[in-house]
Amino acid sequence: MMNMMIGRYVPGNSVIHRMDPRAKLLLVFMYVGIVFLANNSATYAVLTIFTLVLLLLLQVPFSFVIKGLRPILWIVLFTFLLHVFMTKEGAVLYQIGELTIYEGGIRQGIFISLRFLLFILITTWLTISTTPVEVTDAVESLFGPLKRFRVPVHELALMMSISLRFIPTLMEETEKIMKAQAARGVDFYGGPLGERIKAMISLLVPLFIHSFKRAEELAIAMEARGYRGGEGRTKYRLLTWRWFDTCLLVSVLAVAILLFLLRS
C-alpha cells in the first residue's frame, strides 16, 4: 500500500502548491487538449520542456514523481511495443522472420508512449501539489454554473469528498478484518479458488455492513450539526485567484499557439 504513489499529495509551499486549485484543474484540462496537437519532434519537445518546467516549479524531490510513474511503466512499454510492431510506415529497419520493424513504427511508438507519459506526469503534477479536498472545492466551483440546469453540483462534490475521506478508514478496516479472519484460519493469499472466494466473502460482508452503518451514523451526525444541503452554505476554505494563476493559464495558451505553428 505504501508504494502507491499515484494520486498522492506531497505537502509543500511552492508557487504551484499555493495556486488556486481551479487554475490547476483548468490547466490540466487544457493541457490534455493540446497534447493532441503535437505530431512531430519539435512539438513534442516543446510540450516536454513545458511539462518539465511545471514539475520543477513543484520543488518536490524528483524521485516522488518517478515513483508515481513506476506502476504505469509497463503499460507505456506495452504501447510502445504495440506501435513498433503494428505500424507499417517508412523505411524498413529490421526484419526478423515474420516481424518487420519500420522506421515509422519506432517514431510512432516513441510519440505515443511519450504522450502517455506526459498525461501521467501532468496528473501527478496536479495530485502532488493539490489535496483531494482542494480538488473537490475546485470541481464544485468550476461546475457551479451547471446548478442552473439542476445538476446537483454541491451534492456530487460532497459525495466526492466523503468518499476520499473514507479511503484510509476503509483500508484500515480491511486490514483489521483480514487479520481477524486470518486468526480464524482464513488464507487470503493461496488455496483453491472455492476457498479463496469464501475468504473474500468473509472480508467483504463485514466491510459492507460497516460501511452502511457508518454512512448512517455520518448522516445523523451531519444533520445534528445543522447540515441541510448546499443552499446558503458558506465556505471555510475560500479560493482566491491570483495573477500567477492567470499567467500560467496564459502560458498554456502560448504553448498551444506555438504547437499550432510548429506542427506538421
Partner 1 sequence: MDIIFEQVEHIYHANSPFAQRALYDVDLSIASGTYVAIIGHTGSGKSTLLQHLNGLLQPTNGTVMIGEHTITKAIKPKQLKPLRRKVGIVFQFPEHQLFEETVEKDVCFGPLNFGVPEEEAKKKAKEALSLVGLPEEVLNQSPFDLSGGQMRRVAIAGILAMEPDVIVLDEPTAGLDPRGRKEMMEMFARLHREKKLTTILVTHSMEDAAKYADHLIVMHKGTVWKTGTPQQIFHDPDALLQLGLDVPETVLLKRKLEEKIGREIPSPCLTIDQLVDGIKKLFSGGNP
Site of interaction with partner 1 (CB under 8 A): 2, 176-177, 179-187, 189-190, 201-202, 205-206, 209-210
The residue among 146 and 218 lying less far from partner 1, judged by its C-beta, is: 218
Look-up of cell digits 504505469:
72
Instruction: Tell me which residue of 48, 242, 9, 221 sits closest to 135, measured CA to CA.
Output: 9
Q: State the nearest-atom distance from the C-beta of 165 to partner 1, in Å.
A: 20
Sign of CA dihedral 247, 248, 253, 259: positive
The residue among 121 and 186 lying less far from partner 1, judged by its C-beta, is: 186
Contact 243, 23 (CB under 8 A): no
The residue among 47 and 128 lying less far from partner 1, judged by its C-beta, is: 128
CA dist 51 and 69 (Å) reads: 14
Q: State the nearest-atom distance from the C-beta of 172 to partner 1, in Å.
A: 12
Residue 69, C-alpha cell as written in the block:
510513474
Q: State the nearest-atom distance from the C-beta of 189 to partner 1, in Å.
A: 8
Q: State the nearest-atom distance from the C-beta of 208 to partner 1, in Å.
A: 9
Question: How is 134-194 classified by DSSP, letter by letter?
Answer: HHHHHHHHHTGGGGGGT--HHHHHHHHHHHHHHHHHHHHHHHHHHHHHHHTT--TT-S-HH
The residue among 123 and 211 lying less far from partner 1, judged by its C-beta, is: 211
The residue among 29 and 208 lying less far from partner 1, judged by its C-beta, is: 208
Instruction: Tell me which residue of 81, 73, 75 sits closest to 105, measured CA to CA.
Output: 81
CA dist 134 and 146 (Å) reads: 19
Q: State the nearest-atom distance from the C-beta of 121 to partner 1, in Å.
A: 22
The residue among 3 and 240 lying less far from partner 1, judged by its C-beta, is: 3
CA dist 202 and 71 (Å) reads: 29
How many Cα atoms are found within 13 Å in the side-chain-facing hemisphere of 108? 16
The residue among 88 and 179 lying less far from partner 1, judged by its C-beta, is: 179
Q: State the nearest-atom distance from the C-beta of 130 to partner 1, in Å.
A: 22
